[in-house]
Chain A
Amino acid sequence: MNLNRDKMMKQIQAYSFACYDALLYLDSHPQSKCAMEYYNKHKALEKKAMYEYEKHFGPVTAPTEAYSWEWTKGPWPWQNENDCKE
């Protein structure tokens, strides 16, 4: 297990979850300034964490620009390093 990889992924998951939960809340509470601030703040943190992770471990979302095709490289999210054969 790559500890650093897991740690950085966990960071993305935490920020993404915060955003998604706020998004659902905003769907039924579109007037909530507080929820919108929370959403914006965590969206920025998610973007930064995603950028850092992708620099080291390849794309999480389809790349906006590619020079080598990393998208299909494992491990996929349900796998660990031993589960995937390149």
Chain B
Amino acid sequence: MWQYEKKLQYPVNIKNPNPKYAQIIVSQLGGPDGEVGASLRYLTQRIAMPYSQITGILTDVGTEELAHVEMVSAILYQLTRNLKPKEIEDSGFATYFVDHTTGIYPVAASGYPYTVAQFQSKGDILADLHEDLAAEQKARATYDNILRLVDDPDVCDAIKFLRAREIVHYQRFCEALGIAQDKMNSKNFYGYNPAFDNVGK
């Protein structure tokens, strides 16, 4: 189970609303490389993971991703606070606004709603860990793109923190892959799947 801590992982204090930025950043909530998908990916994959140490890494990274869902939501909330109808019309935010007002809803920047079809839980250690490594890099690249488009220091500060965490998670997953490979048959990693086949037990 989980217990809530009534705090953000890293402070988000945005003084100036900017619906245009919100429409870009919402992709890191419900887009293809967003935080909702990240948390669900790790928290589902961990269940079939036979190696305890890697189950732990997936659990802890997945838990941190939930804190990132909250941080991105806080950014979106503060960027869309006290908006006037004219600002909504002029910024292009109207297409989101008409369906969700300023409620937080996981969609990609394109408006495509979040879908679990964007990630995999393969039940195969090597396939899952390689997906996780790629996912962290894709999220890092998305944050890089956001930093190319946003120049409010309050927003960039929180985005830079989230970007840095992708790199740390990538590092931890590299180590997880090393731990898994040490436990598997080095002559043939594909000989059997420790998450399914019972060979060697």
Using a CB–CB distance below 8 Å, which chain A residues touch chain B?
6, 9-10, 12-13, 16-17, 20-21, 23-25, 27-30, 59-62, 71, 76-80, 83
Contacts and interface: CB of A to CB of B under 8 A. Distances in A.
28 contacts: A6-B11, A6-B13, A12-B7, A13-B7, A13-B9, A16-B5, A20-B60, A21-B168, A24-B57, A24-B61, A24-B168, A27-B56, A27-B57, A27-B172, A28-B57, A28-B176, A28-B179, A59-B6, A60-B7, A61-B4, A77-B6, A77-B7, A77-B74, A78-B8, A78-B12, A78-B70, A79-B77, A83-B81
A83 to B, nearest CB: 7
Nearest to A75: B6
Contact of B5 (A6, A23, A28, A60): A60
Contacts of A60: 5-7
Contacts, number: 69
A23 B172 CA distance: 11
A59 B57 CA distance: 28
Contacts of B4: 61-62
B190 interface: no
B6 to A, nearest CB: 5
Contacts of B81: 83
